């Protein structure tokens, strides 16, 4: 029997996205659904298991468990606990770090479902700089390029649903309906008014904490950058995602 058969949560949903791509907005819209729990970023990949003695590894080997599978069991237990606490049946993790970690997620949860959230790479750079004006532009461009390449690799390696941030903000009902169809739940207008839900605190390092997200309203995306405004290092990736530049 494969190890994945022992999962308490056999088919979690993972959002694969960059930083500053609108994943917190996507999270609160999904979390407003009565059957979907989308908590803050869980950073599961940073939870590790330490086999502190040589005989620990021997003992676990006799149980057909290595460190990787022990970590899968830990992450699975965290997700299951959150589902039980919420009383819902589908859990979504939107941690941006999942983009560079998708192969491990696929290994641990072969039945997982994936939502690929895209945003114009130039807009992500602008959002990061606006959020922290002291940021170095070149370093920020490199960071966004790293994330975009990781998301694109995941899109090429996994099945899932692709959503654009610009579409989500412009046509929220249509896009949330598409998401509900993919996740196998009925659509509800409650998803469009996330002010009424308890989504936890909006604080740094576990999601967006900007005034926009705290407003409780879906804000329209900023206009897309002009071609000459897109950093040269991001233009090929922007075109790969269908953005003109």
pLDDT, tens digit (0-9, with 9 covering 90-100), for 84-104: 999 999 999 999 999 999 999
- Provide the 10 A C-beta neighbour count for residue 198: 7
* pTM, entire model: 0.95
Q: pLDDT tens-digit profile of 120-160? A: 999 999 999 988 888 999 999 999 999 999 999 999 999 99
Angle at 16 between CA 14 and CA 22, to 5 degrees: 105
Average pLDDT over residues 194-203: 91
Of 113, 89, 96, whose CA–CA distance to 37 is shortest? 89
Q: pLDDT tens-digit profile of 24-50? A: 999 999 999 999 999 999 999 999 999
Q: Please tell me the predicted confidence (pLDDT) of residue 62.
A: 97
Q: Please tell me the predicted confidence (pLDDT) of residue 3.
A: 61
Residue 2 clears pLDDT 70, i.e. is over it: no
Rounded to the nearest integer, the mean pLDDT of the chain is 95
Give DSSP secondary structure letters for 16-76. Answer: E--TTSSHHHHHHHHHTSTTEE--S---GGG------SHHHHHHHHHTT--HHHHHHHHHH
pLDDT tier for residue 4 given thresholds of 50, 70 and 90: low
Least confident range of 111-115, 168-172, 210-214: 210-214
């Amino acid at each position: 029997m494969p190890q994945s058969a022992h999962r308490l949560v056999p088919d979690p949903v993972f959002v694969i996205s960059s930083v500053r791509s609108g994943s917190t907005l996507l999270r609160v819209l999904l979390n407003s659904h009565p059957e979907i729990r989308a908590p803050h970023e869980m950073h599961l990949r940073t939870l590790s298991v330490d086999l502190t003695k040589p005989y620990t590894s021997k003992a676990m080997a006799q149980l057909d468990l290595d460190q990787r599978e022990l970590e899968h069991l830990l992450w699975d237990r965290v997700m299951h606990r959150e589902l039980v606490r919420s009383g819902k049946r589908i859990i979504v993790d939107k941690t941006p770090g999942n983009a560079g970690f998708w192969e491990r997620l696929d290994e641990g949860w072969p039945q997982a479902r994936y939502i690929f959230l895209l945003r114009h790479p130039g807009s992500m750079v602008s959002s990061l700089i606006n959020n922290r004006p002291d940021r170095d532009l070149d370093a920020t461009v490199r960071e966004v390029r790293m994330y975009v390449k990781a998301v694109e690799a995941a899109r090429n390696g996994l099945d899932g649903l692709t959503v654009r941030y610009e579409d989500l903000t412009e046509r929220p009902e249509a896009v949330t309906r598409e998401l509900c169809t993919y996740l196998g739940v009925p659509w509800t207008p409650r998803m469009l008014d996330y002010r009424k839900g308890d989504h936890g605190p909006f604080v740094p390092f576990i999601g967006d904490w900007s005034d926009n997200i705290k407003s409780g309203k879906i804000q329209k995306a900023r206009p897309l950058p002009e071609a000459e405004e897109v950093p040269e290092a991001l233009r090929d990736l922007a075109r790969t995602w269908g953005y003109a530049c």
